Amino acid sequence: MSVQETKRKLAAILAADVVGYSRLMGLDDEGTLRDLTECRDLFSSQAGQYRGRIVNTHGDAVLAEFAAVVDAVNCAVAVQKALAERGAKQPEDRRMRFRIGVNLGDVLEEGGDIFGDGVNIAARLESLAKPGGICISGSVYEQVATRLPFSFEDLGAQTVKNIARPVRVYRVLLEGADEPGERDKSQGGSESPPLVEKPSIAVLAFDNMSGDPEQDYFSDGISEDIITDLSKLSGLLVIARTSSFSYKGQKVDLRQMGEDLGVRFILEGSVRKAGNRVRITAQLIEAETGQHLWADRFDRGIEDIFAVQDEITEEIVTALNVTLVSGEQARIWRKSLRNPKARELFYQGRDVLNKMTREAVSQAIGRFEQVIALAPDSPFGHAWLGLAHWVLVFRNWSENPGETLQTVIAHTKTALELDAENAEAHAIMGCALLLLRNFDEALQHAEHAVRLAPNSADVLQNSALICMMYGNFDQSIDLCRRALRLSPTTQSLLLNILGVSYREAGRFEDGIAILRRALALEPEYTPARFALLTVYCAAGRVEEARNTAREIAEIDPAFSLAEYTKRLPFRDAAVNERLMEQLKAAGVV
């Protein structure tokens, strides 16, 4: 028996699959198979012309490899143009369209087939492309940007399933199909813009130098506090914790990180805690050049942590020449959690709450209750205890949602009495009032929260949710796009809000692409799959709606489409009624 040789090599990978294949098969299975064969022949012909080869054609997919990345992109463009010409001669509902992803990376070859992250990333890029479109990785873009006569749109860094690091993604703008600058009309990928004129910064998780991994919460807490302070500055773009902390524990080139996150500056540092003493180092670095703009070391008592954070923030503001508008300085340099034990419990509570499991939320509630007992005059314990209880309601983990909501209201109200300019408390109060159907007051809190923390992805996300339910869909889309810029490696909830807002704005293809992206991040996130179902229904894509309904039943058998639809807190009850009618028309309820 011969053993097939396995070898590793660098290759340009093209991955493609058919859009709505199940729907096409349902309309005409024999005709669809004939179309698929013709399209595969077209792929094979173009791959041969550009010195590539078809590796396999499993199902409705096509996988090809090329020695030169320029050839791979040229082939992808040629295929899409040929498919568009072919489709123009067919009825709209019968056109076979493909999404294509192109990546440059290491692959393993065995018996003519190829495997590995290089292939997996190409497949994930394909899922982010719009129908008839092409997405390429940052490694491909670097090779072809100045060598091919195409325009590209920067979609930012994307977190993709089963890939540890975020992937920089670009969309190829095809002549006659896409125009540069038409970001609002993009149907897939991130809504994140490229570098902006005002200073932009990512604060990395500070290294824990204490020798005890259990102390990570403390160094993380200091970094997160700095992010929170900086996010209150309108003159600075600050990347959210969820994205900047994704690099924690990794050896990453700062220039590449700056490109991935779309920032010009990076703050990194370390924390060494010993007894009641703490040593903090911090360095502000220009990502492109690696130049240190500022660096310092602070040896202080643990009771002086806030003072150190204030000094670091002031140094960043000075180094980047950020102009503070009226009121911003007072909002930043105001602290009210002086008790060292309370602060440590607060950091612990925030750390476990970020895990977003039912058990973690319960643990966080216990920590925040202890914070309040030790520091009742601080808004932090009350605000975050309110947030933890809100998560219980939002994730449907509360046995008595009405009572839990009243707990949210009580603690956020106390937080705002202690600090009327606590943006997080305003945002959570708005979310609680939303579920209580107090829409006008909820919107007021949302708008005030955004004014106080214009660079907080969490605040923007919660405010977008409120605006969406209120009926301000364009405003919700704008807030989501801003939050995506701050959190390129975002969570599914934000994409879910954006997808539903697109649906209500009548932008069905945009909604489908964004919700597919949400499910690529979290395949079992039922609300996003439900939202995708409703967009399919609104767009009249009945077969895809029915397939999605079956997927929901398999993933979450207890989920009720009808009950969930009725509970959605839209101010305009006609939205819920329309959704129910569309679900019935599709035959899924």
User: pLDDT for 316-337, tens place per residue?
Assistant: 777 776 655 545 544 454 556 7
The whole-number average pLDDT for the span 246-271 is 82
**478 or 189: which carries more pLDDT confidence?**
478
Q: What pLDDT sits at residue 41?
A: 93
Q: Which H/E stretch holds residue 284?
A: strand 277-286
The whole-number average pLDDT for the span 257-279 is 83
Please give the single-letter amino acid code of residue 156.
Answer: G
Q: What pLDDT sits at residue 4?
A: 58
Q: What pLDDT sits at residue 176?
A: 46
Q: Where are the domains of the chain?
A: 6-185, 200-332, 491-589
- 463: CB partners within 8 A, 6+ apart: 427, 430, 446, 447, 449, 450, 479
Tell me the per-residue pLDDT of 400-441, one tens digit each, with 9 for 90 and over: 989 999 999 999 999 999 988 888 899 999 999 999 999 999
What pairing do the DSSP bridges indicate for beta strands 237-238 and 200-203? parallel
Task: Give 280's strand partners.
Answer: 271, 298
Average pLDDT, the chain: 84
Give the pLDDT band (50/70/90) at residue 159. low
The whole-number average pLDDT for the span 335-353 is 82
Q: What pLDDT sits at residue 327?
A: 52
For helices 508-521 and 117-128, the axis angle rounded to 10 degrees is: 150
Q: Which H/E stretch holds residue 9?
A: strand 6-18
> DSSP label at 20?
T
Q: Which H/E stretch holds residue 330?
A: helix 328-332
Q: How far apart are CA 560 and CA 526, in angstroms?
A: 11
- Give me the phi and psi of 223, to 5 degrees please: -60, -45
- C-alpha 225: how far from its chain's center? 21
Tell me the per-residue pLDDT of 137-151, one tens digit each, with 9 for 90 and over: 988 988 888 778 788
Q: What pLDDT sits at residue 195?
A: 42
Q: Out of 119-123, 228-232, 497-501, which region has the weakest mean confidence (pLDDT)?
A: 228-232
272 neighbors 185 (Cβ within 8 angstroms): no
pLDDT higher than 90, residue 499: yes
> DSSP label at 540?
T
Q: Coil, strand or helix: which one is 170?
A: strand
CA angle 379, 405, 531 (to 5 degrees): 110
Q: How far apart are CA 78 and CA 82, in angstroms?
A: 6
Q: What pLDDT sits at residue 186?
A: 36
Q: Out of 182-196, 385-399, 540-554, which region has the weakest mean confidence (pLDDT)?
A: 182-196
Give the pLDDT band (50/70/90) at residue 187. very low
pLDDT higher than 50, residue 194: no
Tell me the per-residue pLDDT of 365-399, one tens digit each, with 9 for 90 and over: 999 999 999 999 888 899 999 999 999 998 889 98
Instruction: Judge: domain 491-589, CATH 1.25.40.10.
Output: yes
The whole-number average pLDDT for the span 568-582 is 95
Closest by CA to 489, choosing from 258, 266, 257, 246, is 246
Tell me the per-residue pLDDT of 281-297, one tens digit each, with 9 for 90 and over: 888 888 878 888 888 88
Q: How far apart are CA 538 and CA 509, in angstroms?
A: 11
The whole-number average pLDDT for the span 350-354 is 87
Instruction: Judge: domain 6-185, CATH 3.30.70.1230.
Output: yes
Tell the CATH topology of 200-332: Rossmann fold (3.40.50)
For helices 542-555 and 526-538, the axis angle rounded to 10 degrees is: 160
Give the pLDDT band (50/70/90) at residue 259. confident
**99 or 92: which carries more pLDDT confidence?**
99
Q: How far apart are CA 202 and CA 389, in angstroms?
A: 29
Q: How far apart are CA 332 and CA 352, in angstroms?
A: 25
266 neighbors 244 (Cβ within 8 angstroms): no
CA angle 286, 458, 259 (to 5 degrees): 25
Please give the single-letter amino acid code of residue 173.
Answer: L
Q: What pLDDT sits at residue 161?
A: 66
Q: What pLDDT sits at residue 168?
A: 84
Give the pLDDT band (50/70/90) at residue 173. confident
pLDDT higher than 50, residue 177: no
- The reply to whether domains 6-185 and 491-589 share a CATH topology is no
Distances (CA, A) of 542 to 1, 130, 564, 583, 587: 51, 20, 20, 9, 8
Place of tokens 């942590």: 305
Give the pLDDT band (50/70/90) at residue 196. very low
Q: Out of 253-262, 422-431, 525-534, 576-585, which region has the weakest mean confidence (pLDDT)?
A: 253-262
CA angle 202, 203, 207 (to 5 degrees): 140
Q: Which H/E stretch holds residue 439?
A: helix 439-452
Largest CA distance in the chain: 78
Both tokens assigned to 428? 């959570």
pLDDT higher than 70, residue 307: yes
Q: How far apart are CA 427 and CA 419, in angstroms?
A: 14
Both tokens assigned to 380? 């932090």
Q: Coil, strand or helix: which one is 579?
A: helix
Place of tokens 């609300």: 527
Q: Which H/E stretch holds residue 12?
A: strand 6-18
In percent, how much of the chain has pLDDT > 90?
40
